Amino acid sequence: MENVSNVVKLESIKSLQSTISKLENALSQMTQKGVNTTLVKKRLKAVSIGLAMLENVWNQRPHSYIQEDLAEAQNVLTGLLPTIENSYGKSKAGSSQRTLLERRIKALELAIQAIDNIPNK
């Protein structure tokens, strides 16, 4: 896995934690409305696994995910990137939204890379 500064590590972890929080809120609202939550649940699980993998690689925190979960998470995270990159392309240079999207893209890329480097994946 590439050499990552402590600042990028911290920003990436915070970004994924923020993403998890947003997905949890979306899941709660969707559940209350009685709409299909399958996609949000899948994304929430994938981002949670991504965060766990970064913490595993950077902070030696153990994880208990099986290979199947890791592969699925990697696919879901990879699938999220084009949408976020598209939003990034439409965002205004220097805006806080653009900074947030930059950090989210970097965090997802690092999480995908971390999953890729797990032995036997």
- Report residue 67 CA to chain centroid gap: 17
Would you say residue 106 lies in a domain? Answer: yes
Query: What are the pLDDT tens digits along the chain (121 aa)?
Result: 668 999 999 999 999 999 999 999 999 999 999 999 999 999 999 999 999 999 999 999 999 999 999 999 999 999 999 999 999 999 999 999 999 999 999 999 999 999 998 876 5
What the block records as the tokens of 25 is: 């809120």
The CATH number of whichever domain residue 18 belongs to comes to: 1.20.1440
What the block records as the tokens of 40 is: 């949000």
Quote the pLDDT of residue 26.
Answer: 97
Quote the pLDDT of residue 1.
Answer: 63
Would you say residue 102 lies in a domain? Answer: yes
Quote the pLDDT of residue 120.
Answer: 61
Q: What total of structural domains would you count in the chain?
A: 1
DSSP, res 118? S
Quote the pLDDT of residue 2.
Answer: 65
Would you say residue 121 lies in a domain? Answer: no
Would you say residue 1 lies in a domain? Answer: no
